[in-house]
Amino acid sequence: MTAPAHTDTVVKSTTCYECDANCLFDVTIDASGRAIKVEGLPNCPRGQLQLERQYHPDRLLYPLKRVGVKGSGEFERISWEEALDTITAALQKTKAQYGAPTVGFFAGYTKEARPQLQRLAHAFGSPNYLTESGCCFSATMVAEKLTYGYKLKTTSTVESPKTQCVLVWSTNATGSIPPFENHHLASRKKGRKMIVVDPRRTETAELADIHLQIRPGTDGALALGFHHLIFANGWQDQAFLDEWANGLDAFRDYIQEFPPARVAAICGISEADLRAAVEMFATTSPAQIAMSPTSTVQHSNGFQNHRAMILLSAVTGNIDREGGNRFFNDKVLPKPIELFDVCKNELPPRIGDEVFPIWTKYWPAAQSMLMPDCILEGKPQPLKALLAMGINTAMWANSKRMERALGELEFFAVSDFFHNPATLQADIVLPAATSLERTALIAYPGCAYQGEVKYRHQALPPRGEAKPDGQIFLELGVKLGMAEQFWHGNLAASWEEMGEGLPPDIRKEAWENPAGVTVYSPVIEELVEMGFLDADRQWRINGFRTATGKIEFDSVELKAHGYDGLPTYREPAESPLSTPELLADYPLVLTSGGRQKFFTHSQQHNIPAMLAHDPYPRVQIHPDDAAARGIAEGDAVEIRSRRGAVTFRAAVTDMMKPGVVHCFHGWNEANINELTDDTQLDPISGFPPFKSLLCQVTRIQENV
Ligand SMILES: Nc1nc2c(c(=O)[nH]1)N[C@H]1C(S)=C(S)[C@@H](COP(=O)(O)OP(=O)(O)OC[C@H]3O[C@@H](n4cnc5c(=O)[nH]c(N)nc54)[C@H](O)[C@@H]3O)O[C@H]1N2
Ligand SMILES: Nc1nc2c(c(=O)[nH]1)N[C@H]1C(S)=C(S)[C@@H](COP(=O)(O)OP(=O)(O)OC[C@H]3O[C@@H](n4cnc5c(=O)[nH]c(N)nc54)[C@H](O)[C@@H]3O)O[C@H]1N2
Ligand code: SF4
Ligand SMILES: [Mo]
């Protein structure tokens, strides 16, 4: 094929959705309508190689119905008409037989069409709209709202020049936050001290003045150890606490149990490092904690771990202060179309209301981590049918059980770009349009006071018969007899209705300018009007929006639900200290899921050019642990937990803490989640312990 003449090409400005950062870029399209080049993206292989996914030979291009047994992979092409009619009939039948709540509506990592999917769930009469947030991020937000009445800005995307000390509580921007190596946490800043907590000596930890290389899942003990030393040395902001802390006396009593020697022993760090880190953090002002959506909370004790950590901002007077940890503010928001009010006021309880009432109170969805129980055991409520937008069992704790659960559903339909272990269990598989092929209104939350609104126009026609997810959900709404409520199937009209929530000038600009509009939270003006020219410390005018109006050191709301009100530390449910009887068989601590810029979870592992960067599913193991097992770099190794065994390749590296191994996640063929646990969920959030388990690693003798 000859390259088309320059004049035959067009360049369109659009936004990337290989992950939800929505980076702006230009795509060049040739005369035949094929995208041939992408430009202007950050140094991100997923964005740069997106055309390899766009034109991947394995992409799902037509609706399919399963013709073989579940899991066989035998499917037959059908028309959209047949696919949507089949789904409509199955949903109606399930509703008639068992009730609408037994139909679940699930969204994986992908976010754009969630409003339309959630609307479909609630309009259909099911409260059970579920998402990947059942194991991601939400627990941090709920912990923050419960403790402060506000969400804190967690992984800082915007740097404050005032921050004198940053305590990076396990996030490694080089792999997880664009622009990666150009992110402000990925370099030393003049005059900014840096402490990093992480079981691995990551690129970020390499930069630190002090690296606290803790045993996974001991974050709560470490944070309480910080509090102990802060109060013991009188470094707390007592005047602020006198006015704004609820339950401080009980908290001060409790932290007496966490003297440095004990904390150092629990966490596996040196007492001297602990003392030095606490002094640096507490006596350098303003100090900020940069947090992760996963590392403190993906544990059986994660919610309280996270609370213990965020309270460090309050005791040091760094809360909602420039250079410290700001509150997150709503900017201008699109009009909600999710019908969540209908769900709350008119529909029966969501999955999770029964067992995780705090989490469901603060998070507007059902708790998806209970799906296997709901399907296999009918508890806490039965689930009989599922419509999913992007689901991969390889991402679920104890994946094989989740796979079995999907196989037991009476009906299961899913949209995706590719087959994966979950789609093979489906009755109907629908081809999803990629971001290049679909429109979307994106309200990107951004930092505390500043966010972005963008509208993506369609850059390319869909390949084959792929359809935007949102379009699919509207068409199903129409087929289910709700044409009026589902814009008669017009996706653009649904975005326009959402856009009605925006001031007209912002809406116009967002629709016309692919770069979008930067929007600000009204709270800035409010503070300025009140004479607070530094525009922070909102609590001066609003207090803390908690049950007591103060910062909840000893939460009345948690106590009312029978939980500990204090951020109590408990050992991970499976750990060298809590289950010593397992150590003979499973002597190593297992953590998983550190991000790399090559992959979005289970995605992009089918792109050959990407595999050139990272060809194998790897387990990172310390040289001493490897040597003791006769394991060398690149060896095939079996990793075994109480749940099963999986083969990985050894990456022998002294970045690991001795006694701890880390597996990358997202590989269908070497799935770490076959080894993770779906029974010991955090009692408050329902999050699974992806990051603190026990395992053994052994070398596999390979035939040469
Ligand atoms: N390229 C890319 N970027 C992504 C994603 C992706 O798939 N690919 N996923 C996105 C999503 S959905 C999420 S939720 C975020 C996740 O974002 P983060 O959670 O910030 O992920 P990482 O940057 O990998 O940092 C997590 C760190 O936690 C450490 N860790 C492991 N166990 C423990 C523990 O018990 N305690 C502590 N304190 N640390 C521990 C790991 O060693 C790792 O370095 O990333 C987002 N960004
Ligand atoms: N062991 C371990 N497991 C983890 C984690 C960990 O750290 N360790 N992290 C957890 C976290 S934080 C998260 S967020 C989850 C993520 O887990 P998932 O939500 O499962 O993430 P993905 O693999 O990115 O996406 C799932 C499927 O969605 C499809 N998909 C992507 N975009 C679209 C789209 O626009 N439309 C449709 N229809 N389909 C699409 C993909 O092709 C893929 O098959 O994993 C969790 N699992
Ligand atoms: S960070 Fe990478 S994958 Fe995510 S939107 Fe930007 S370019 Fe795309
Ligand atoms: Mo996540």
Looking only at the bridges linking them, the beta strands covering 440-444 and 450-456 are antiparallel
What is the distance between the alpha carbons of residues 578 and 568, in angstroms, rounded to a whole number? 15
CATH number reported for the structural domain that contains residue 198 in this entry: 3.40.228.10
For the residues 589-610, what does the mean pLDDT come to?
97
Residue nearest to atom 32 of ligand 2 (CA): 110
Q: Please give the distance, rounded to the nearest whole angstrom, from the Cα atom of residue 603 to the centre of ligand 2.
A: 7
* Token duo for residue 603: 């995605």
For the residues 42-71, what does the mean pLDDT come to?
97
State residue 158's pLDDT score.
67
Task: Give yes or no for residue 294 CB within 6 A of ligand 1.
Answer: yes
Judge whether 386 and 106 are in contact, CB under 8 Å. Answer: yes
User: Which residues lie closer than 8 Å to 284 by C-beta, 6 or more apart?
Assistant: 164, 165, 193
What is the distance between the alpha carbons of residues 678 and 131, in angstroms, rounded to a whole number? 16
Q: Please give the distance, rounded to the nearest whole angstrom, from the Cα atom of residue 29 to the centre of ligand 3.
A: 20
State residue 305's pLDDT score.
98
294 shares its domain with 184: yes
End-to-end CA distance of the chain: 43
Task: Give yes or no for residue 260 CB within 6 A of ligand 1.
Answer: no
Q: Which atom of ligand 3 is nearest to the CA of 178?
A: 1
Q: Please give the distance, rounded to the nearest whole angstrom, from the Cα atom of residue 6 to the centre of ligand 2.
A: 38
Task: Give yes or no for residue 136 CB within 6 A of ligand 2.
Answer: yes
Is the per-residue pLDDT at 521 higher than 90? no
- Per DSSP, the three-state class of 367 is coil
Is the per-residue pLDDT at 327 higher than 70? yes
Q: 614-625, pLDDT tens digit by residue?
A: 999 999 999 999
127 shares its domain with 164: no
Rounded to 5 degrees, φ, ψ at 601 are 50, -120
| Domain span including residue 190 | 152-326+537-560
* Token duo for residue 229: 């030393």
Is the per-residue pLDDT at 308 higher than 80? yes
Judge whether 635 and 699 are in contact, CB under 8 Å. Answer: yes
Q: 415-442, pLDDT tens digit by residue?
A: 999 999 999 999 999 999 999 999 999 9
Q: 185-215, pLDDT tens digit by residue?
A: 999 999 999 999 999 999 999 999 999 999 9
Rounded to 5 degrees, φ, ψ at 646 are -140, 145
171 shares its domain with 303: yes
The larger pLDDT score, comparing residue 350 to residue 530, is at 350
* Token duo for residue 203: 């690129």
Q: 311-322, pLDDT tens digit by residue?
A: 999 999 999 998
Q: Which atom of ligand 2 is nearest to the CA of 602?
A: 23
The label of the residue with tokens 């599913």 reads 617
Measured over the CA atoms of residue 44, residue 141, residue 693 and residue 624, the dihedral's sign is positive
Q: Please give the distance, rounded to the nearest whole angstrom, from the Cα atom of residue 666 to the centre of ligand 1.
A: 13
304 shares its domain with 180: yes
What is the distance between the alpha carbons of residues 207 and 188, in angstroms, rounded to a whole number? 6
Q: Please give the distance, rounded to the nearest whole angstrom, from the Cα atom of residue 527 to the centre of ligand 4.
A: 33
Instruction: State the chain's mean pLDDT as an integer.
Output: 95
Judge whether 95 and 411 are in contact, CB under 8 Å. Answer: no
- Position 197: which residue type? V
Is the per-residue pLDDT at 369 higher than 80? yes
- 1 confidence band (pLDDT: 50, 70, 90): very low
Judge whether 594 and 172 are in contact, CB under 8 Å. Answer: yes
* Domain stop point among 560, 592, 624: 560
Task: Give yes or no for residue 434 CB within 6 A of ligand 2.
Answer: no
State residue 687's pLDDT score.
98
**Nearest to 154, CA basis, from 135, 173, 132, 180:** 173
48 shares its domain with 188: no
Task: Give yes or no for residue 323 CB within 6 A of ligand 2.
Answer: no
Q: Is residue 502 part of a domain?
A: no
- Ligand 1, pocket-test mutation among 48, 131, 176, most atoms within 8 A of CB: 176
Task: Give yes or no for residue 600 CB within 6 A of ligand 2.
Answer: yes
CATH number reported for the structural domain that contains residue 672 in this entry: 2.40.40.20
pTM: 0.97
- Ligand 1, pocket-test mutation among 50, 170, 289, 613, most atoms within 8 A of CB: 170
Q: Is residue 142 part of a domain?
A: no
234 shares its domain with 315: yes
What is the distance between the alpha carbons of residues 596 and 379, in angstroms, rounded to a whole number? 36
Looking only at the bridges linking them, the beta strands covering 210-212 and 193-197 are parallel
Q: Which atom of ligand 2 is nearest to the CA of 112?
A: 35
Q: Which helix (H) or strand (E) holds 343?
A: helix 340-346
Task: Give yes or no for residue 595 CB within 6 A of ligand 1.
Answer: yes
430 shares its domain with 343: yes
Q: Is residue 570 part of a domain?
A: no
Q: 15-43, pLDDT tens digit by residue?
A: 999 998 999 999 999 999 999 999 999 99
The CB-side HSE value for 666 (13 A sphere, CA atoms) comes to 19
Q: Please give the distance, rounded to the nearest whole angstrom, from the Cα atom of residue 183 to the centre of ligand 3.
A: 13
183 shares its domain with 47: no
Q: Which helix (H) or strand (E) holds 320?
A: none
Q: Please give the distance, rounded to the nearest whole angstrom, from the Cα atom of residue 183 to the centre of ligand 1.
A: 15
**Nearest to 119, CA basis, from 471, 368, 485:** 485
The larger pLDDT score, comparing residue 149 to residue 523, is at 149
Is the per-residue pLDDT at 132 higher than 60? yes
Q: Is residue 351 part of a domain?
A: yes
- 154 confidence band (pLDDT: 50, 70, 90): low
- 541 confidence band (pLDDT: 50, 70, 90): confident
Q: Is residue 457 part of a domain?
A: no
Q: Is residue 492 part of a domain?
A: no
**Count of CB atoms situated within 10 Å of the CB of 598:** 21
* Token duo for residue 238: 């007592």
Task: Give yes or no for residue 176 CB within 6 A of ligand 1.
Answer: yes
Task: Give yes or no for residue 18 CB within 6 A of ligand 2.
Answer: no
What is the distance between the alpha carbons of residues 652 and 661, in angstroms, rounded to a whole number? 10
- Ligand 2, pocket-test mutation among 603, 643, 664, 693, most atoms within 8 A of CB: 603
For the residues 278-304, what does the mean pLDDT come to?
97
- Per DSSP, the three-state class of 345 is helix
Cα separations (Å) of 442 from 20, 115, 119, 458, 508? 9, 11, 17, 14, 14
- 155 confidence band (pLDDT: 50, 70, 90): low
What is the distance between the alpha carbons of residues 670 and 159, in angstroms, rounded to a whole number? 37
Q: Please give the distance, rounded to the nearest whole angstrom, from the Cα atom of residue 173 to the centre of ligand 2.
A: 19
State residue 4's pLDDT score.
47
543 shares its domain with 690: no
- Ligand 1, pocket-test mutation among 295, 368, 596, 601, most atoms within 8 A of CB: 295
**Nearest to 115, CA basis, from 386, 402, 356, 333:** 333
Task: Give yes or no for residue 108 CB within 6 A of ligand 2.
Answer: yes
**Count of CB atoms situated within 10 Å of the CB of 658:** 14
In the sheet with 103-107, reading across from the earlier edge strand, the strands are 75-77, 64-66, 428-431, 411-416, 385-389, 103-107, 129-131
Domain count for the chain, please give it: 4
Rounded to 5 degrees, φ, ψ at 602 are -85, 0
Judge whether 304 and 222 are in contact, CB under 8 Å. Answer: no
Q: 224-279, pLDDT tens digit by residue?
A: 999 999 999 999 999 999 999 999 999 999 999 999 999 999 999 999 999 999 99
Angle formed by the axes of helices 469-479 and 491-499, to 10°? Answer: 100
Q: Is residue 495 part of a domain?
A: no
**Nearest to 701, CA basis, from 632, 617, 625, 635:** 635
* Domain stop point among 492, 526, 560: 560
- 3 confidence band (pLDDT: 50, 70, 90): very low
Residue nearest to atom 1 of ligand 1 (CA): 597
Q: Is residue 208 part of a domain?
A: yes
For the residues 540-545, what does the mean pLDDT come to?
90
Q: Is 497 exposed, middle or buried (CB count within 10 Å of its CB: 0-12, 13-18, 19+)?
A: middle
123 shares its domain with 220: no
Q: Which atom of ligand 1 is nearest to the CA of 202?
A: 44
State residue 2's pLDDT score.
43
**Count of CB atoms situated within 10 Å of the CB of 48:** 18
Q: Please give the distance, rounded to the nearest whole angstrom, from the Cα atom of residue 91 to the centre of ligand 4.
A: 29
Q: What percent of the chain has pLDDT over 70?
A: 98
289 shares its domain with 393: no
588 shares its domain with 554: no
Is the per-residue pLDDT at 289 higher than 90? yes
- Per DSSP, the three-state class of 402 is helix
